[in-house]
Structure formats: structure tokens, C-alpha cells
Amino acid sequence: MLKTLLLTSCLVFFSSFQEKELPNTAVQSQVYICKSTSAKRYHLKKSCRGLNACTHDIIAVSLAKARNTYSRTLCKWED
Ligand SMILES: [Zn+2]
């Protein structure tokens, strides 16, 4: 009886542990880029300090577009 109880609580603990340990697989599809020709990065947050220096328009684009169309790499402040 005690063994069953322990096993059950162990399983409950394990499954909640697993849930917590799962990486955040929700891939952010929208990123922000500075529409400057000299900018080479994309940003996950519009408030990123890497965007503070941007004097051009900041636009939201899809991650794929930022990487492929604009050839941007992830901002060094966010990796
Ligand atoms: Zn950034």
C-alpha cells in the first residue's frame, strides 16, 4: 500500500518535473528589425537595447523573412 502510494507520488512528481524541464518550444515567429541598410541583426523584443541606436523605422517581420530576406542574425544582446 505504502509502496503504491510512493510510486504514485513519484510518478506525479516526475511528470510535473518533465513539464517544467521541457524547453520553451513556442517559437517566436515575429521579430523586429531596424530598417537600416547597415543593420545586421534581428531582435526578439521591440524594447531591446540593440534597437535603441536605430534611427530608421523599426518593423516587425517574420523570423524567416528576417533571416532569409534581410540576412539578419540574432542580436547579440538576446542570445
Ligand atoms: Zn536585440
pTM above 0.75, yes or no: no
For residues 59 and 12, which has the higher predicted lDDT (pLDDT)? 59
How many whole angstroms separate alpha carbon 31 and alpha carbon 76?
14
Alpha helices (runs of H) in 1-79, residue ranges in sequence order: 2-21, 63-68
**Which residues, in sequence order, are bridge partners of residue 34?**
58
Q: In this predicted model, what pLDDT tens digit does every residue of 20-61 receive, in sequence order?
A: 554 444 566 999 999 999 999 999 999 999 999 899 999 999
Please tell me the distance between residue 69's alpha carbon and the centre of ligand 1 in angstroms. Answer: 18
Work out the pLDDT band at 10, boundaries 50, 70, 90. low
Ion ligand 1: residues, Cβ under 5 Å: 43, 48, 50, 75, 77-78
pLDDT(67) > 80: yes
Please tell me the distance between residue 73's alpha carbon and the centre of ligand 1 in angstroms. Answer: 10
How many whole angstroms separate alpha carbon 59 and alpha carbon 51?
11
pLDDT at 22: 47
